[in-house]
A and B are shown apart, each in its own frame.
Chain A
Amino acid sequence: MSHATAKPARPSRPTLREHIERLADPGTYTPAQHFSEGMDLVSEADGGEALIGGRPVTVGLSGHLVMRALNRRQPYVAISSGTGGLARGGRRNLGVLDTVWGMSGGPMLAEMASRRRDVPVVSAIVHHSFGDSSFFTGMSDYVVQLKGACMALTGPRVLAIGTSEQVTMEELGGVDVHARNGQADTIAETLDEVYAAIRRFLSFLPTAAGAPLPVTGPGPGPDREPEPGARQLIDGLCDRGSFFELRRDFAPSLVTGLARLDGIPVGVLASEPAVDDGAFSADACLKATRLVCTCDAFGLPIVFGIDSPGPRVEGISRAMMLAQAIQLAEVPKCWVITGRAHGTGLLVTGPARIATDLVIAWPGARAGYDGAGPSAADEEHWAADGIVSPAGTRAALSAHLRAVLGPAPVSRPGRTLCTWPAGF
């Protein structure tokens, strides 16, 4: 790895150390000291180890030290360096061709590209990010972007020179761009929000695939009953205040995020009938697939809330991609059919359901293709394990998850989806 330093462009810009000290538990940061990583010597300028919520993580600049985190089987957080690849390799040894490899973070990217999601990887875009640190986001499990920071393959300057396109940082890769295309999971207004979001995201995940699930004691229950409507449903099912939404402004007909259900961390996906009738657009399929893969890789159960006319995509393959992901996911999956479950076969598995799955339907829910399918009361035609009232749904889910996870839940990652692309 290189010896690039996080030299601040402006006096107010935090150094890497300051970022880590604000992100991590107080007093826990230990900078890396002349540690050999591959053929390079790393130093404290590259990052180091700290605790977040009492659990160890490695934090590095733009992907530095990621191999350390993979070897130690602990989460990794990349802080964007604020420089493109040029500063790392391009300026040294111009014309010597190992700069191709060095510049594009070759070994680091190779390690990341073939990882099987052993450990959670987070990217924080807190400075303008081009080259390495942007590449890194494309393979991360979670990306948080600070308002005002630009995330793009390359910067406006190279664009202006190479293609004559004149754009501002905001237009090229500002938070509006990546909120809408889903490449940022969270948009943060302030640095403190960035740190809080990272801590929050990691709090739901095991430190590594196969490690214990971070189950907390029974938290405060919801302060409302679940109702139709994605967020009302989620708030009515999950522990109070536990819902951590991901990719909010991308494909809003589907609401996704992480939450706790009776202390158990879960991935939640709920169709939002108020937006496009709750249909699964191509983007919604991408949004859902990313979360299903993340949950399966880290052993988190998945809860689906369905009131949807089904997929509404051009062509067919993107809907099939989501169906494939759901089918291949090996973690416990629970469906709550609150209204329509049309296109049922795609979104709710049938005969191939595994024993840890649960399908419950509210009275009046209907399944089928076109709205004319049988209602939940007509039980014969349903795969539902039971008809449950809205008020009883949380208890049913919790009892099921407790039963299938056992008393000391360990994350049991699936075998297949961990090799799927990290980004969708």
Chain B
Amino acid sequence: MTTPLTDGAGGTSSAAATAEIPEEIVTVERLRELRERVTTQMGGPEAVRAIHAAGRRTAREHIAEFVDPGSFSEVGTFATFVDKVTAPDPGPYGGGIIGGHASLDGRPVTVAVDDDSVTAPARRSTGKAARLYQMALQQRRPYIEVATGDAIPSLAARPGKTGTPSARTFGAEPAFPYLLERQRAIPVVSMVLGDTSGASSFSAGLCDFLVQLKGTSLSLAPAAANAESAPNGAGQPAGEVDAIVDSPDEAYAAARRFLSYLPSYAGGPLPVTDADVPLGYDDQIARLVPARRSRAYDMKAVIRRICDEGTFFELKPAYARNVVTGFGRLAGIPVGVLANAPMRMAGGLTPECCLKAVSFVCLCDAFGIPLLVLQDTPGFLVSAQAERDRAIVRVMTLLQAMSLITVPAVSVVIRKAFGLAFVILDGNRAVDLSLAWPGAEIGFMDPPVAANVLFEPQIKQLPEHERAAFLAAKAAELGVGFEPYGVAANLTIDEIVEPGETRGVVAGYLKNSLAARPPRTAPSPLASWPRWY
């Protein structure tokens, strides 16, 4: 345990008594000495050694590796525990959380990292995370919390079973209520780099970007007390995790990348990069999409060509892969891309897809990031299983979210768009600009299915061998009406664009639309929606 600060008080007077060294130098030296001891010893030299022996980093090392070199300015170095229930003895310094201000790619951020050199319950008992969060909020900069898990098994144990703070201390985490009502005023990133539970896990359920190290667990109660909870980094990918990574360095990179698309605070200027990128005709993109309606293709390849080169950053890539969500840039402007993925179940939408889409739309809208929707879907996948999985509520929640968007939004029908899926993905007419490629089919239902449903009586009267031909003919008849010229005629689609000019048209629209938009004065309603439901 570190020597308490008060123990050194005598040093000042004895130094003054010798009168050899000016007092201010003595006090500065004493600070230096203490700071040196506090920052290197942390929870104790043995604890630090154990962390290193386990091949891990201390909290301060995490920060040093993560932020811009030399940019870290610590806050609360000398904080110690105040909760007599949790930690009857004061110290060690740091208060269980190491944090402060720094810059990431030159932009200011605030970080708070669990100090795993002290006992688990002690980490959240000083209110330091709350202080850091409030500073970030006040200075309108992103807040990043890192849960390290437990490097040392003996420190993970809860001392004396008394460690459970009461209702009064609000479940051990004073930052919690602030996070609960934060309504996404500033970006919050949560990195889970070790098995995480309890107070350290709260921000993971309330953040904008959750990155988790593969093989770690994330749950409210410690895994031992909560056997049912599967380590979601290792097993089935859980939709609530945005990025699953193989190393802490990858986690840092993911967080850095994520934040590069976001403003420093909701309503703040978007981080537009140098817009000197080609926007001319793309004579390659049309080849990526097969004309034959049943043929699958890689929508991500289309996204990459529409976005500035190398800018597409996918979120939740392993979850509900029938939809793709991620950030990109168009002429340097950050955009959120929501697209159907025909590679997977023809791009049909399941209840999980709706959840993934809602979560993404809320994120974009909260931070004023324009939305680009790329449609190619036969519709919502209907099945008894989907109905059991609350398809109705999931689908309608997506409709609600799309109807409430406040950001500039552009939708492009790449190939297929039918019925309610079209209505919803077109933002229920809430998108600013609704485009279609010339080969798009837009109608109330996939024509072969529609022909079957509409002409059932006639089909029944036909001999078996004539039915297929009749159906094909009827589907083709319906298909003619589904060409985009029909919807363009009544302005359901604003314009039919060539695949090759899509990038230029969307970029041009976004530039103008951002320039014309007055700064936001109230948060978007979607900013208060839960990150996952």
Q: Which residues of A contact B (CB under 8 A)?
A: 85-86, 89-91, 94-101, 103-104, 106, 109-110, 113-114, 134-135, 137-139, 151-154, 157-159, 161-163, 165, 167, 171-173, 177, 180-183, 286, 289, 310-321, 323-325, 327-328, 341, 343-346, 348-352, 359, 367-370, 372-374, 381-384, 416-417, 419-424
Contact = CB atoms under 8 A, between A and B. Distances in A.
A315 B242 CA distance: 13
A139 B396 contact: yes
B435 interface: no
A374 B450 CA distance: 64
A319 B168 contact: no
A315 B380 CA distance: 26
Contacts of B492: 97-98, 100-101
B387 A172 contact: yes
Contacts of B430: 110
B166 to A, nearest CB: 4
A350 B429 contact: no
A323 B199 CA distance: 13
Given A314-B229, A323-B180, A350 B382 contact: no
Contact of A368 (B164, B386, B401): B164
B529 A421 contact: yes
A123 B46 CA distance: 64
Nearest to A350: B170
Contacts of B391: 152-153
B423 A314 contact: no
Contact of A350 (B177, B386, B489, B531): B177
Interface stretch (B22-30, B106-114, B475-483): B475-483
B201 interface: yes
Given A343-B220, A421-B529, A316 B205 contact: yes
Given A100-B487, A419-B404, A420-B528, A350 B167 contact: yes
A310 to B, nearest CB: 7
A101 to B, nearest CB: 6
Interface stretch (B9-17, B327-335, B368-376, B438-446): B438-446
A344 B171 contact: yes
Nearest to B531: A317
Contacts of B403: 110, 113-114
A95 B389 contact: no
B423 A100 contact: yes
A154 B180 contact: no
A286 B533 contact: yes
Nearest to B484: A97
Contacts of A177: 384, 387-388
A212 B387 CA distance: 38
B129 interface: no
Nearest to A156: B384
Contact of A315 (B168, B238, B480): B238
Contacts of B228: 312, 314
Contacts of B238: 314-315
A96 B490 CA distance: 9
A370 B225 contact: yes
B429 A419 contact: no
Interface in B206-240: 206, 218-221, 225-226, 228-230, 232, 238, 240
Q: Which bracket fits the contact residues of B?
A: 35 or more
A157 B452 CA distance: 10
Interface string B258-276: 0000000000000000000
Given A113-B400, A162-B446, A344-B171, A320 B382 contact: no
A96 B481 contact: yes
B173 A171 contact: no
A229 to B, nearest CB: 22
A177 B177 CA distance: 37
B487 A110 contact: no
A287 B229 CA distance: 20
B422 to A, nearest CB: 6
A422 to B, nearest CB: 7
A323 B532 CA distance: 13
Contacts of B422: 100
20 contacts: A94-B454, A95-B482, A99-B443, A100-B419, A100-B423, A100-B444, A101-B429, A106-B428, A109-B428, A113-B404, A171-B384, A312-B220, A315-B219, A317-B240, A323-B176, A328-B180, A345-B176, A382-B167, A419-B526, A421-B396
Interface string B402-425: 111000000000000011101100
Nearest to B404: A114
B423 A106 contact: yes
Interface in B125-173: 158, 161-162, 164-173
Contacts of A327: 177, 180-181
A372 B221 contact: no
A101 B423 contact: yes
Contact of A383 (B167, B241, B482, B525): B167
Contact of B390 (A183, A318, A348): A183
A181 to B, nearest CB: 5
A89 B492 CA distance: 16
Nearest to A309: B221
B393 interface: yes
Contact of B392 (A163, A183, A289): A183
Going nearest first, the 3 A-B pairs with the smallest beta carbon separation are: A345-B171, A95-B481, A138-B396
A321 B533 contact: yes
Contacts of B443: 95, 97, 99-100
A323 B182 CA distance: 13
Given A327-B181, A416-B183, 19 more contacts: A85-B419, A97-B481, A100-B418, A103-B444, A113-B396, A113-B399, A153-B380, A312-B229, A316-B219, A316-B240, A321-B533, A328-B181, A345-B167, A345-B170, A351-B177, A367-B167, A381-B168, A421-B400, A421-B533
B461 interface: no
B171 A346 contact: yes
A171 B388 CA distance: 9
